[in-house]
Structures are given as C-alpha cells and as structure tokens.
Amino acid sequence: MTRTFSELMELTSFEDRFEYLSLKGVVGESTFGFERHLNQKFYTSREWRLTRDAVITRDYGCDLAMPGFEIYTRILIHHMNPITPEDIVHGNVDILDPEYLISVTHRTHNAIHYGDKHLLALPVVVRRPGDTRLWGNQTLRSVA
C-alpha cells in the first residue's frame, strides 16, 4: 500500500491519521544497518533540507499536519513509505516528493514505526474557569 499526503488529508482525526501511517514494526528491527552512512549523507543533503523546509511550511508545523497539534520541539519529517538504501543509491525521486512526506514529533514517529498508539502524546486539554476542582461538579462528602 502506498501512503500519500493527499489521502492522509482526507482523514479528519489525529487517531485516524496515525492508524493510516502505522507500520506495526518491531523494536530493534534494522532498517539501514551497515548502510547507515547512506541515509546520513542523504539527510544532510541540500535537496533534503529544502524539501524538509517545504514540508514543514505546508504542514504549518503541526504533528501529522493536524491543526491544534502544533510542534514546539524538533520537527521530524517522516517518509510515509519507508525508504531503503536502494532508494538512495538509485536516486528514487519519491524520497524527496512531499506527497510521501509528513511532519511529526519524535514520539509520533516512534509510535508510527512501532505501531504503538500509547507512545503518542496526549492532546492538550483546554482549561476553563472552575475546572480545577478535583471532583468536578460533585460536592465533597465528609467521611465520619
């Protein structure tokens, strides 16, 4: 299944977008192994930096491009379709195509790769006057 930004934008909830991208990977599963130098060179290239900046701008700096999920820490750009050493060596143009990229936080990136929604950050709760009481609208009963 090829995942695309266009399809992702049709999903209206953060949870649905996460499920669409979830890879259900295994912790410790090697992706580049001894070929790590390839992706390190790729991620420091001028082409990647320009693409990265364009994706962040397109996504308004939001996690999974979801309004209300602004990223205030380091923004990662996730390849929706995992790349391989061969993609880099053979110059697969898809690895620089924003249609296959999305802005994420580190936690969301790990949750996508490991298929574990428990790694996702909890949404921010909007506070309102009077909602700081520990027991909500309940009245405290004395225990005698």
**DSSP H or E segment with residue 79:** strand 76-79
> What contacts 83, CB < 8 A, 6 or more positions away?
39, 92, 95
Model pLDDT, residue 140: 47
Model pLDDT, residue 29: 55
For the entire predicted model, the pTM comes to 0.80
pLDDT score of 116 more than 90:
no
Tens digits of residue pLDDT in 11-66: 999 999 999 999 877 555 556 666 778 888 999 999 999 999 999 999 999 999 99
